[in-house]
């Protein structure tokens, strides 16, 4: 049998700054490139069609690049173990190269299974760290220094040569993946996958859009152009964080961009910070990072299917909440502050368990990244015992960041005729005004699912009373020792 190496692509769908690919093609052994559409992920509650369409687009872009070398990524379907067993029956697999996956528990268990199988079959599995994340880190000693070293390390080019690769007929091995028709067409309003689009998006930010980044980062409408919009390309690896950071450093003195680049630089650091949190305590996918909160939530949270569905579908009667949720359904993107507000509204105003919404938003976020999603969700739900409790008032957020109500009108057309400031609190208008602005008597915007002020007051009392508990404080000390850099 022919001796080969395999590069196993996952959330690293690019051909540049790709250490596993570089190591594989630098050897004298023919290399097979594979991506596996795994049933367990296709059917996982965190994912939806929009994610796999983006992945398919990214793979097609890579194959367009590889066509110059008369090669392609083998796009396969099946459980990873079954796929590699089939490949092992047809080739002598010398080594498998891939990035470490900061993923869900199901991918962690899959990787444990694969590691044991590779070892049992004499196959070396060389995994490269993802960004600056340290696998199994128990504390943050010298972590910031490590981040700087990784992000500033030279990016070595990956030299692709025709003779380096070996091709595979997936259909002949019964491993072929046939995408649904819905993967094949772009979705209006949704970003398109691929490294070329990622680099064009980055370049456009530095050419014009980025000047307003620091001013518009919290505004739901303006942020759609002023923010980098790189998050899905980073989440699915169309571009590496190191490539973005070094591009930023190269443009550090760009006239008019200084405040925006300072803000962006800190957020690139946060990206790895939260992924490191998840890597260091991935159990937070299933439990509160501060375990004392689990019993509190089970005893005190409301369970109201009608209210939960109203939140999920953008029909709560709270204008900004509904506008953000509907925007997410259509485009897969809202800015950081609006995401935090949606989680806060669910867990604070509606008093629901964060678990009730965590997979719903994962399905909607085109840039769903497990290592960022779970630490952020729990932080905004105030179940860490270490972060500041933030109860976002959606009316004030609208008044501060959607001053004229343009974002609300765009996504909640029922309110299109209402002027500011009436659009922020339509339940306060008179019956005559409701008729004038064409709101039906049964409109949720005249009868929202909750009273914002009363529910916020109850949430403050509930959350601060929990925060003072001794069991919460003890857990908080453990969390700080693991996830926060030592002082001095």
DSSP 292-326: HHHHHHHHH----HHHHHHHHHT-SS-HHHHHHHH
Beta bridge partners of 59: none
pLDDT digits 0-9 by tens, 432-471: 999 999 999 999 999 999 999 999 999 999 999 999 999 9
Q: Measured between alpha carbons, how far is 90 from 74 in angstroms, rounded to an integer?
A: 15
Give me the phi and psi of 120, to 5 degrees please. Answer: -65, -25
Q: Measured between alpha carbons, how far is 263 from 271 in angstroms, rounded to an integer?
A: 13
* Domains of the chain, each with CATH number or no CATH: 3-128 (3.40.50.620), 131-154+194-280 (1.25.40.80), 282-483 (1.10.579.10)
Token pair recorded at residue 168: 């595979």
Q: Return the higher-pLDDT residue of 119 and 161.
A: 119
Token pair recorded at residue 274: 């939260």
Rounded percentage of the chain residues whose pLDDT exceeds 90:
94
Q: Measured between alpha carbons, how far is 414 from 189 in angstroms, rounded to an integer?
A: 21
pLDDT at 488 > cutoff 70:
no
pLDDT digits 0-9 by tens, 365-406: 999 999 999 999 999 999 999 989 999 999 999 999 999 999
Least confident of 46-50, 144-148, 440-444, 479-483: 479-483
Grade residue 70 by pLDDT with cuts at 50, 70 and 90.
Answer: confident
- The residue whose two tokens read 């105030």 is 382
Grade residue 69 by pLDDT with cuts at 50, 70 and 90.
Answer: confident
Q: Which of 11, 164, 34 is nearest to 86 (CA)?
A: 34
Cα dihedral 37, 38, 41, 42 sign: positive
Alpha carbons within 13 angstroms on the beta-carbon side of residue 324 total 29
Token pair recorded at residue 331: 């485009």
Predicted pLDDT at 487: 64
Chain centroid to CA 117: how far?
Answer: 30
Average pLDDT over the chain reads 96
Q: Within the chain, what is the greatest distance between any pair of CA atoms?
A: 82
Chain centroid to CA 131: how far?
Answer: 15
Predicted pLDDT at 342: 98
Q: Which of 97, 57, 339 is nearest to 182 (CA)?
A: 57
- Rg of the chain's alpha carbons, rounded to an integer? 24
Predicted pLDDT at 279: 94
Residue 465, SS3? helix
Q: Measured between alpha carbons, how far is 75 from 99 in angstroms, rounded to an integer?
A: 17
pLDDT at 485 > cutoff 80:
no
């Amino acid at each position: 049998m022919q001796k080969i190496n395999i590069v196993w692509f996952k959330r690293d769908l690019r051909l540049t700054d790709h250490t596993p690919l570089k190591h594989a093609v630098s050897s004298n052994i023919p290399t097979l490139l594979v991506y596996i559409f795994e049933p367990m992920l296709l059917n996982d509650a965190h994912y939806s069609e929009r994610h796999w369409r983006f992945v398919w687009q990214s793979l097609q872009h890579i194959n367009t690049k590889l066509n110059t070398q008369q090669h392609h990524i083998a796009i396969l379907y099946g459980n990873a173990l079954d796929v590699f067993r089939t490949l092992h029956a047809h080739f002598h697999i010398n080594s498998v190269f891939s990035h470490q996956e900061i993923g869900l528990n199901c991918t962690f268990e899959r990787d444990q299974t694969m590691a044991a199988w590779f070892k049992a079959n004499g196959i070396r599995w060389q995994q490269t760290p993802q960004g600056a994340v340290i696998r199994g880190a128990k504390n943050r000693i010298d972590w910031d220094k490590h981040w700087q070293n990784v992000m500033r390390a030279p990016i070595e080019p990956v030299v692709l040569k025709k003779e380096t690769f070996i091709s595979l007929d997936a259909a002949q091995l019964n491993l072929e993946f046939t995408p649904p028709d819905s993967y094949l067409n772009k979705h209006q309003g949704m970003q398109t996958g691929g490294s070329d689009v990622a680099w064009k998006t980055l370049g456009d930010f530095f050419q014009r859009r980025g000047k307003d980044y620091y001013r518009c980062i919290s505004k739901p409408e303006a942020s759609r152009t002023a923010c980098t919009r790189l998050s899905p390309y980073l989440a699915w690896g169309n571009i590496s964080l190191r490539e973005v950071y070094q591009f930023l450093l190269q443009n550090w003195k760009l006239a008019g961009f200084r405040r925006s680049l300072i803000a962006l630089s800190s957020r690139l650091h946060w990206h790895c910070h939260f992924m490191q949190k998840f890597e260091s305590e991935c159990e937070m996918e299933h439990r509160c990072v501060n375990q004392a909160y689990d019993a509190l939530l089970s005893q005190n949270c409301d369970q109201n299917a009608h209210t939960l569905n109203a939140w999920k579908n953008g029909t709560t009667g709270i204008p900004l909440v509904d506008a953000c949720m509907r925007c997410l359904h259509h485009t897969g993107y809202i800015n950081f502050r609006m995401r935090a507000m949606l989680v806060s509204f669910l867990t604070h105003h509606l008093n629901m368990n964060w678990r009730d919404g965590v997979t719903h938003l994962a399905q909607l976020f085109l840039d769903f990244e497990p290592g960022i999603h779970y630490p952020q969700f729990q932080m905004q739900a105030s179940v860490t015992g270490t972060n500041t409790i933030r109860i976002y008032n959606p009316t004030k957020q609208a008044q501060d960041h959607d001053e004229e109500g343009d974002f609300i009108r765009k996504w909640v057309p029922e309110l299109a005729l209402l002027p500011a400031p009436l659009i922020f609190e339509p339940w306060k208008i008179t019956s005559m005004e409701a008729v004038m602005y064409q709101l039906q008597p049964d409109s949720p915007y005249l009868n929202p699912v909750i009273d914002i002020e009363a529910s916020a007051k109850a949430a403050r009392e509930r959350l601060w009373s929990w925060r003072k508990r001794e069991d919460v404080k003890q857990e908080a000390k453990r969390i700080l020792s693991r996830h926060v850099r030592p002082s001095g």
